[in-house]
Amino acid sequence: MVDKPDLRKKLEFRKLLQQVSDGLGAENLKALKNLCYDFIPKTQLDTIDVGLDVFNVLIEQTLIGADNVAFLCELLDEIGRKDLTDKVKTYVERMEAPSELSSQYVQTLDRPILKAIADEVGKEWKMLSRHLNVDEVDIDSISREHHGDLKEAALKALLKWKVTAGDKATPKALKKALVDMKLMAIVHKYFAAA
């Protein structure tokens, strides 16, 4: 199953390709096809009458993709369409920027955010607590108090860490602990790439 960020990126990439294709005039398309002569068989090039078809073949050949736009930019630069290259670069910046939700997670560690992360940590909450240097006595106490309720135990442990660590309880510290534990699905969901 493809996760939502991947679906979003693929959809945004397809929208970008449509916009770029729509922006190509007949001369641009002719120049683009000429540049792709070594990558697309001539018989196939002869049947192409829109830029989107060129892009689809380049995708099939893994020369371009949602995470691989360098060749696309090179082609657009070569045909003199810096405006379309800029459109591709804007897409890249938008895709690399954290979403509104993840932006919140990166900037603050308030209770709703900690709860969302705690809900996903599940049975790993004790290990996460140790990575965050929560005292063993506190971990044992939380475990007894919330026996069987992993989400609540994880939340209490994160809140305890936030209080006891003070200024050191930062999104960066929490992200590092999650990375150290190899809980990458949580990292990718709630934290911007760094």
| pLDDT confidence band for 109 (50 / 70 / 90) | confident
- Same structural domain for residues 87 and 108? no
d(CA 12, CA 10): 5
Q: Provide the domain count of the chain.
A: 2
Q: Of 47, 68, 96, which closes a domain?
A: 96
CATH number, domain with residue 62: 1.10.533.10
Positive or negative, the CA dihedral 50, 52, 53, 57 is positive
- Same structural domain for residues 75 and 118? no
| pLDDT confidence band for 52 (50 / 70 / 90) | very high
- Express as a percent the part of the chain with pLDDT over 70: 89
- Same structural domain for residues 123 and 92? no
Predicted TM-score (pTM) of the model is 0.51
Summarised one tens digit per residue, pLDDT across range 157-179 is 999 999 898 888 888 899 999 99
- Same structural domain for residues 19 and 65? yes
Token digits for 165?
């660590």
Domain region containing 71: 4-96
- Same structural domain for residues 71 and 107? no
Q: Which DSSP state fits 68?
A: B
Q: Kindly tell me if the per-residue pLDDT of 111 is higher than 90.
A: no
Mean pLDDT to the nearest integer, 149-158: 92
Helix or strand or coil: residue 71?
helix
- Same structural domain for residues 57 and 86? yes
Q: How many helices (H) and strands (E) does the chain have?
A: 13, 0
